[in-house]
Amino acid sequence: MEYHLGCIECKKTFHDDSLYTCPSCNGLLEVAVDVGNADFKLDGKEIKVWKYRSLLPIRIEPITLFEGGTPLYSIRSDKETKLFVKHEGLNPSGSFKDRGMTVGITKAVELGKTRVVCASTGNTSASMAMYSARAGLKAYVFLPSGKVALGKLAQAIMHGAKVIAVRGNFDTALRIVREICSRNDIYLLNSVNPFRLEGQKTIAFEIVDQLGYCPDAIYVPVGNAGNISAIFKGFKELKEAGYIDFIPRMIGVQAEGANPIFRAFSEGKNRITPVGNPETIATAIRIGSPVNARKALKAIYSSDGKVIQVSDDEIVRAQKILAKQGIGVEPASASSFAGFMKDYEEFESAVCIATGNLLKDPEEAVRVSEKPIEVEPDLEIIEKLL
**Contact set with ligand F0G (CB under 6 A):** 95, 97, 120-124, 191, 221-227, 284-285, 330, 332-333, 355-356
Report in angstroms how near the CB of residue 385 gets to ligand F0G at its nearest.
Answer: 35
Q: Which is nearer to ligand F0G, 151 or 223 (CB)?
A: 223
CB nearer to ligand F0G: pick between 75 and 228: 228
Q: How far is the CB of 263 from ligand F0G (least distance, A)?
A: 15
Question: For residues 67 and 99, is the Cβ–Cβ distance under 8 A?
Answer: yes
DSSP element (H, E) containing 180: helix 170-183
Instruction: Please identify, using beta-carbon distances, which residue of 34 and 279 lies nearer to ligand F0G.
Output: 279
Give CA–CA dist 185/113, Å, rounded.
Answer: 8
CB of 156 to ligand F0G, least distance (A): 10
Comparison of 98 and 330: residue with beta carbon closer to ligand F0G = 330
Min dist. Cβ of residue 356 to ligand F0G (A): 3
> Which is nearer to ligand F0G, 223 or 339 (by Cβ)?
223
Query: Least separation, in Å, of the C-beta of 198 and ligand F0G?
Result: 13
Cα of 358 vs its chain's centroid, Å = 15
Closest approach of Cβ 4 to ligand F0G, in Å?
23
Cα dihedral 58, 61, 65, 69 sign = positive
Q: Between 38 and 360, name the residue whose CB sits nearer to ligand F0G.
A: 360
User: What does the H/E/C string look like for 149-179?
Assistant: CHHHHHHHHHCCCEEEEECCCHHHHHHHHHH
